[in-house]
Amino acid sequence: MKVPSRFPGWVTWFAFSVGLTGSISLRLILVAKAYHPEFIRLFWYIGVCGNMLFFLFRSFITRRRRRLITDLDLVERLKDRQRLHQEDYEALQYLVGSLDASKEQWNYMIIFLCSIAAIAWDLFVS
């Protein structure tokens, strides 16, 4: 099996930006409801489409990682402390590098903080 190459940095930043835009847009629905109801549908579509694209990308990355682990039987080979081949090291380098470059944790943290802010804002305004 050929070890996949990592995406360029701009791809992960783009996916992060799309996910973040979608998440913030969904939370802005509450603000639009109070001040500009005509923007509710716009924010909803941006939010849903942004989240769909972000999670589709995340699903693709996860599937790539799992397929690599399965095809090379890495879990068993590591568990049994079998000798690793060059391809195994390349796969592990890809997996660790891919996890390290991921902006996923930042996206989740910002989603959490924006959700708390949206709830607090709605409770304050109501």
Tens digits of per-residue pLDDT, 27-58? Answer: 999 999 999 999 999 999 999 999 999 999 99
Would 40 be classed as within a structural domain?
yes
Rg (CA), the chain: 20
Would 3 be classed as within a structural domain?
no
pLDDT at 76: 94
Would 2 be classed as within a structural domain?
no
Would 4 be classed as within a structural domain?
no
Q: How many structural domains is the chain composed of?
A: 1
Cβ count within 10 A of residue 22 = 23
Domain span holding position 26: 9-125
Would 95 be classed as within a structural domain?
yes
> Taking the chain (126 residues) in consecutive chunks of 10 residues, what is each chunk's mean pLDDT?
88 93 94 95 97 94 95 94 93 93 88 93 89
Question: Which residue do the tokens 């941006």 mark?
Answer: 46
Please report how many Cα atoms fall inside a 13 Å half-sphere around the Cα of residue 126, on the Cβ side.
8
Would 69 be classed as within a structural domain?
yes
Residue 81 backbone zone (phi > 0: left; psi -120 to 50: alpha; other: beta): left
Would 28 be classed as within a structural domain?
yes
User: Whole-model pTM?
Assistant: 0.81
Angstrom distance (rounded) from CA 30 to CA 113: 15
Would 13 be classed as within a structural domain?
yes
